Amino acid sequence: MRRTSSDERSFAAAARQLLGPDSLVEGAAATEIYGTDWRGVYVREPLAVARPRSTQEVATLVRLCASHGVGVVPQGGNTGLCGGAVPASDRSEVVISLARLNKVRNIDALGGTITVEAGCVLQRVQEAAAEQGRLFPLRLGAEGSCQIGGCIATNAGGMNALRYGTARQLVLGLEVVLPDGRIWNGLRSLHKDNTGYDLKQLMIGSEGTLGIITAATLRLFPIPQRRSHCLAALASIEDALALLARLQAAFDAQVMSFELMDGEGLRAAERILPQMRRVLPLSHPWYVLVEVATASVQLDLDDMLAMEMADASVDGIIADGVLATTISQARDLWFWREAIVEAERRNGPSLKHDISAALTAIPALVRELKKVVPAISQGTRPVAFGHLGDGNIHFNVWLSKDCTGSQAAKISEQVYAIVGQLHGSVSAEHGIGQHKVDLLRQVKSPIELELMARVKSAIDPSGLMNPGKVLRREAGARGRMAG
Ligand SMILES: Cc1cc2nc3c(=O)[nH]c(=O)nc-3n(C[C@H](O)[C@H](O)[C@H](O)COP(=O)(O)OP(=O)(O)OC[C@H]3O[C@@H](n4cnc5c(N)ncnc54)[C@H](O)[C@@H]3O)c2cc1C
């Protein structure tokens, strides 16, 4: 339990008065629910947790924080994987939960837009669009818990990014509470708008370090009327890329998902998860799950996909394959994709590396990574999987009991060094949070770091917004109540 100063107590009293007592959570509950990240790695007691109900309340609260020099940690569904939504620094920090800003403000089905508040859970946004016969295509494993504000703040990618892009491509406008408490209303529905710097793009992916997103206008699409899924077994990632190129030539943008699975991970998953149905023999090195979809009812996607897979088999690109002909079979295929994640969680501690590279560099990247890990610690299990179509690999290392802390650190160091040699990214879709702050300093050029720091200090000169995330402020540049 942290000791509060008189300044902090006066802040808490003012916040209570402002929002009402049921909108402020303090003490053990604050730490347990809001001060602990999804993976339970980062735990820190916030000064308090505020649960405002409107953009105006967020703005007033941020002004109060600014006047007391209290740090502001925006929190959505708290499913982020880099510790971005929980306090990180020694200064007084208030978590602002957006959960109560959860209204769908407007749907324009004809114009293809939806305007929602930041605290809407992603699945609710998908459902609201579907009720009007439209698709909001952002789709990820945490969609039942993560909020649209958090997805935008982290520029989430997920399973459909290959077809529709990441959150960045899905946002038309934003409403943001700035670090001084002013509200920027940028809720536009324009597809074309070249009126100077695109400030919304600066906010997207800024992980709560530049302002609090309170609402967003998003793009909607036609709902696919036909979907087809298949699973292919392959000898190499090179073959997987050849298959992707063929499918894109045949189906163009109708390829929605192209997910890679490591045979090693699937074999382990089958041992750990008894409910996993064996839809293909598990002896192959690699597997890909393909989903194609179209809004046209005329096309017989199953037939087309079956033909493409047969041709790929004749040409030696795929070793084996299965097409899902029912919804339940499609679910079985997606279960394989999700099984790797679940089996890893049940297996025990692991090192996670969310990395990306140019598509043609991925085979060499994975080959090198797979070589380096056992050389550092025998018995660890390197498993590569993820959104191959986007060049995004989750290279996770299931740790053995014998692996020491310094060996684990060495593994990650080597992974990121190889990613650097191949000009890839050390964070493809999960962001920086507090987890990768030091790593960012190592991999970004001095020019990029300087420009990022200047942007941060131009918008948030007192460093109130999400302290200790993405960029670390140098000592001596803190607010009044800094620890
Ligand atoms: C099982 C699982 C699967 C996942 N799959 C994917 C995936 O496929 N692709 C992917 O990209 N990510 C994935 N993630 C990571 C995570 O779900 C996403 O990053 C998600 O977008 C985070 O949303 P959230 O509401 O939980 O945000 P939080 O975790 O609450 O916050 C994340 C960051 O955004 C900031 N933030 C939150 N809300 C706001 C706001 N309104 N304004 C300003 N800043 C804000 C926080 O301060 C923090 O820095 C997965 C996570 C889990 C647990």
Torsion of CA 23, 107, 135, 162, to 10 degrees: -70
With a 6 Å cutoff on the Cβ, whether 213 touches ligand 1 is: yes
Q: What are phi and psi of 381, to 5 degrees?
A: -120, 110
With a 6 Å cutoff on the Cβ, whether 482 touches ligand 1 is: no
Of 422, 356, 395, 453, which Cα lies nearest the Cα of 155? 356
Q: What are phi and psi of 271, to 5 degrees?
A: -70, -30
- The Cα–Cα gap between 17 and 64 comes to 11
Angle between helices 237-251 and 301-314 (to 10 degrees): 140
Q: What are phi and psi of 178, to 5 degrees?
A: -80, 165
CA 250 to chain CA centroid, Å, is: 30
Of 125, 111, 189, which Cα lies nearest the Cα of 156? 125
| Number of Cβ within a 10 Å radius of residue 241 | 22
Which residue is it, tokens 């999700």?
338
Overall average pLDDT of the 384-406 stretch:
95
* Alpha helices by DSSP H, 218-277: 237-251, 263-272
With a 6 Å cutoff on the Cβ, whether 74 touches ligand 1 is: yes
Instruction: Find the angle CA(319)-CA(161)-CA(254) to the nearest 5 degrees.
Output: 60
Atom of ligand 1 nearest to the CA of 211: 43
CA of 149 to the centre of ligand 1 (A): 8
CA of 477 to the centre of ligand 1 (A): 28
- The Cα–Cα gap between 148 and 30 comes to 22
With a 6 Å cutoff on the Cβ, whether 107 touches ligand 1 is: no
Is the predicted pLDDT of residue 445 greater than 70, yes or no? yes
Q: What is the pLDDT of residues 345-368, one digit of tens each?
A: 999 999 999 999 999 999 999 999
* Alpha helices by DSSP H, 115-236: 122-131, 148-153, 161-164, 167-170, 199-203
- Residue 381's pLDDT is 94
- Residue 1's pLDDT is 56
Of 193, 216, 192, 195, which Cα lies nearest the Cα of 204? 216
CA of 95 to the centre of ligand 1 (A): 15
Q: What is the pLDDT of residues 422-441, one digit of tens each?
A: 999 999 999 999 999 999 99
Give the residue whose CA is nearest to atom 18 of ligand 1: 80
Helices (H), strands (E): how many in the chain? 16, 19
Atom of ligand 1 nearest to the CA of 141: 3
pTM: 0.94
- The Cα–Cα gap between 163 and 254 comes to 7
| Number of Cβ within a 10 Å radius of residue 133 | 10
- Residue 479's pLDDT is 39
Confidence of residue 478 (pLDDT cuts 50, 70, 90): very low
With a 6 Å cutoff on the Cβ, whether 33 touches ligand 1 is: no
| Average per-residue pLDDT for the chain | 94
Of 44, 50, 48, which Cα lies nearest the Cα of 90? 44
Give the residue whose CA is nearest to atom 46 of ligand 1: 85
Tell me the chain's radius of gyration from C-alpha atoms.
23
User: How many residues are present in the chain?
Assistant: 483
**Strand 93-97 relative to strand 48-50: parallel, antiparallel, unpaired?**
parallel
Q: What is the pLDDT of residues 132-185, one digit of tens each?
A: 999 999 999 999 999 999 999 999 999 999 999 999 999 999 999 999 999 999
Torsion of CA 401, 406, 409, 414, to 10 degrees: -100
- Residue 7's pLDDT is 79
- Tell which one of 36, 138, 148, 154 to mutate to probe ligand 1, the residue whose CB is within 8 A of the most ligand atoms: 154
CA of 449 to the centre of ligand 1 (A): 23
Q: What are phi and psi of 69, to 5 degrees?
A: 65, 30
Is the predicted pLDDT of residue 339 greater than 80, yes or no? yes
> 221 - beta bridge partners?
135
Q: What is the pLDDT of residues 317-334, one digit of tens each?
A: 999 999 998 999 999 999
- The Cα–Cα gap between 190 and 96 comes to 30
Overall average pLDDT of the 100-122 stretch:
98
Query: Taking a C-beta distance cutoff of 8 angstroms, is the pair 93, 467 a contact?
Result: yes
**Residue 22 CB partners (closer than 8 Å, separation 6+):** none
- Residue 27's pLDDT is 85
Q: What's the Cα-to-Cα distance from 142 to each of 104, 145, 161, 389, 412, rounded to whole Å?
A: 20, 6, 15, 20, 25
**Residue 150 CB partners (closer than 8 Å, separation 6+):** 75, 76, 77, 78, 79, 80, 85, 98, 118, 156
By the 10 Å C-beta count (0-12 exposed, 13-18 middle, 19+ buried), 419 is classed as buried
Is the predicted pLDDT of residue 2 greater than 80, yes or no? no
CA 352 to chain CA centroid, Å, is: 13
**Residue 237 CB partners (closer than 8 Å, separation 6+):** 260, 286, 362, 363, 366, 388
Give the residue whose CA is nearest to atom 44 of ligand 1: 208
CA of 80 to the centre of ligand 1 (A): 4
